[in-house]
Structure 1
Amino acid sequence: MLIRNETAADVAAIGRVVTEALRKLPQATGTEAEIVERLRAQGALVLSLVAEDDGDVVGYLAASAARIGAQPDWGLIGPLVILPSRHRQGSGSALMAEALRRLRATCRGAALVGDPGYYGRFGFRAFPGLRVTGCPPDVVQALPFDGTEPCGELIHHSAFGLNQHT
């Protein structure tokens, strides 16, 4: 398996992987692939990584610039998706490890909205003052790289359609 930057030739495969991976999740809106397209079109992707196996895209991770309250320079991870047929084979962990390695060079920390049981193993955790309006507090998580405790609303790029922006 190879973790690498996306290329123009990967765009259609990324859309398929994002859609297939999220299709059965109750919180999925069906617009996740469109969000990635908007982030790409607006030049908002800080990272756009694929997991490739035998020439096929089997996983994807996007990261975009975010702010937490007044704190700039956070990397917002999402989506992180793996084809359902490839779950539990290490692709998601490999994508996350590479993303965190790269984000450490440019960001004060990483943040995301997701399952604490999964993301906790990478060091993500909820913080008392960290929030996203409408989300349960335990799923809004961060991994500070510089010791800064995140406090405030996690502000997503406008491509997410949350009526907020970085």
Structure 2
Amino acid sequence: MLIRRETPADRKAIHTIHSEAFRREPGVTPVEAPLVDELRADGDLVDALSLVAVRGGELVGHVCCSRARVGEDTSAATGLGPLGVLPAQQATGVGSALVHAVLGAADALGFGVVVLLGNPAYYSRFGFVTASTLSIAAPDPAWGEHFQARTLTGYKPTQAGAFEYAPAFSRI
């Protein structure tokens, strides 16, 4: 398996990955697929943090991070998600490889913290903790333990306060 940055030629396959990975009912496109398209169109997708997994020459997974704000800081945080893997490739290590790769890339780019909304049982293996333990407040307090953060090398305890996703998240 190869993990690499997305290219413009990957966009249709990325949309399909998220459509299939998050499909809840037949014929209904889940919000995660157009969310990636909107983040890209708004210029909020961090290009270096939009990664695909390629297996056997086919795209099988995608993860991305977008611009975000913690408190007054608009440069230290990024929002991870969505992370999508084709159903036939789930539970084969694709998602884990994508998360490890995007965390390493975010660290190399100097981000201090990566924030997401997701399953604590899955994301805790990558060092994510409940964001409130780092004094990072969720946009919706009902998210509780599902709103998580992972500190990176550039993290400073002053990177705290209310978290704000890129505008596309509020449109879904």
Q: TM-score range by the shorter chain?
A: 0.7 to 0.9
Counterpart CA distance in 2 for 1:133 and 1:127 is 12
Equivalent pairs: percent with the same residue?
38
- Does the 8 A contact of 1:19 with 1:32 survive in 2? yes
Q: Which residue of 2 aligns with 1:18?
A: 18
How many pairs align? 161
Task: Say if 2:100 is the partner of 1:97.
Answer: yes
- Residue 149 of structure 1 deviates from its aligned partner by 6.7
* Structure 2 residue matching 1:142: 3-state secondary structure: strand
Instruction: Please list the CA deviations of residues 75-134 of structure 1 after superposition, one character each: whole Å capped at 9, or x if unmatched.
Output: 110001111111111111111111011101221111100000000000001033431215
Matches within 5 A, 1:121-136: 121-128=125-132, 129=135, 130-133=137-140, 135-136=142-143
- 1:50 counterpart (46, 49, 52): 52
Task: Determine which structure has the larger helix proportion and give its number.
Answer: 2
Counterpart CA distance in 2 for 1:158 and 1:31 is 14
- 1:66 counterpart (65, 68, 86): 68
TM-score by length of 2: 0.85
Task: Say if 2:158 is the partner of 1:138.
Answer: no
Counterpart CA distance in 2 for 1:132 and 1:17 is 27
* Structure 2 residue matching 1:148: 3-state secondary structure: coil
Listed as ranges, the gaps of 5+ residues in structure 2 are none
Mean Cα deviation higher: 66-75 or 148-157: 148-157
Counterpart CA distance in 2 for 1:144 and 1:7 is 28
- Does the 8 A contact of 2:2 with 2:54 survive in 1? yes
Listed as ranges, the gaps of 5+ residues in structure 1 are none
